[in-house]
Amino acid sequence: MDVLRPTLIRIGGRVYRKNLVQEPAHPQEEEEDEGFYAGPGDCADEPCDAFVVEETEKGFQCRVEVPSPLYKYVIGKKGETKKRLEAETRTSISIPKPGVEGEIVITGQQRGGVISARTRIDVLLDSFRKKQPFTHFLSFALTQPEVQERFLQFKEEVLEKCSKDHGVSSSLFQNPAKLHLTLGTLVLLNEQEIRKACELLQRCKEDFVAQLTGGRPLAVEVAGVEYMNDDPAMTDVLYAKVRMKDGSDRLQAIADQLVERFVASGLMLKEWDRVKLHATVMNTLFRRDPGAEERSSTAPGKASLKEREAFNARNILKLFEHFYFGEVQLDAVRLSQRFSTDASGYYATSGQLNFC
């Protein structure tokens, strides 16, 4: 990291500089310990309205809702992060037992110390949350029988005409029961966060989705194929394109506004200025793991290029550039659970926003 240009983290409308704190390595421990220094507008030593600090008989107290999988990052290697936070802020930090959902409670005699500890914990957790593999994603299911049948025809014809091209094999193709459009990925680490995401979906319906859909399904055509990277001879992802049948941009508007709301809530990371609406039909990740889900190259948890054997898609693009997969009536946005399957063969749904 360039010390003159440290990473900036925005939390609660404030900006913080993040700096790596080097500590001695311990056996079987891989996590880095990260610290920060507050930038301009820091509230570490003054009252702050970003969160609630209660006054008690012994001083001050602040509660932080934290998913249990993230406790270890506040504790640190052999408890060193927790000890340092307590020493530097002159507070006491109480953390629930591993696996038990609850609140981290910060107590101290000085209000400024409690606020400082809370702010540091927020920055620490924000940093490590970004490193977690995603657990859920917002999706439109493309599971109508016509689309599935046309996809299987596409697969059959590609293997018949292009199987001699480098890297092309049946293992690259998506499971037809799981064809979908991904709007964005989320890291939801407990039931409270899943419930929060479901509640936000319903608010989005009331605020703008109902108006854009008119309470009716969206008629969408899935047609044509395109590749993700720069060189069609070294392709990792081939996807089908989608468009509104009426030529409007309502689907794009719904996708963009949904992602904007979820990013603003802290449940989703912003990756692109606009959602890239696409349906993956071939992916080199499937070669290793048929149950894998794709995600963008900027997100954590993605397999490195060295682990993926690219395929030559030039002939596929030439022969199937305008392949028609069919028409779909999109009637819901689903909060889909990664690495899951429901009775229909699609991803298990934790919640959904119905258009009708």
118-173 tens-digit pLDDT: 999 999 998 998 889 999 999 999 999 999 999 999 999 999 999 999 999 999 99
The pLDDT of residue 288: 80
Instruction: State which residues of the chain have pLDDT below 50.
Output: 3-4, 21, 23-48, 296-305
Rg, Å, the chain Cα set: 24
Q: What is the pLDDT of residues 294-312, one digit of tens each?
A: 554 334 444 444 568 999 9
Largest CA distance in the chain: 78
Tell me the CA distances in angstroms from 10 to 65, 133, 264, one per residue in order: 19, 21, 11
pLDDT at 61: 96
Lookup: tokens for 203: 């608010």
Report the alpha-carbon distance of residue 330 to residue 353 in Å, rounded: 11
What integer pLDDT is reported at residue 304 of this predicted model? 46
pLDDT at position 229, please?
85
pLDDT at 308: 83
Q: What is the pLDDT of residue 93?
A: 97
- Predicted local distance difference test score (pLDDT) of residue 17: 59
The whole-number pLDDT of residue 5 equals 56
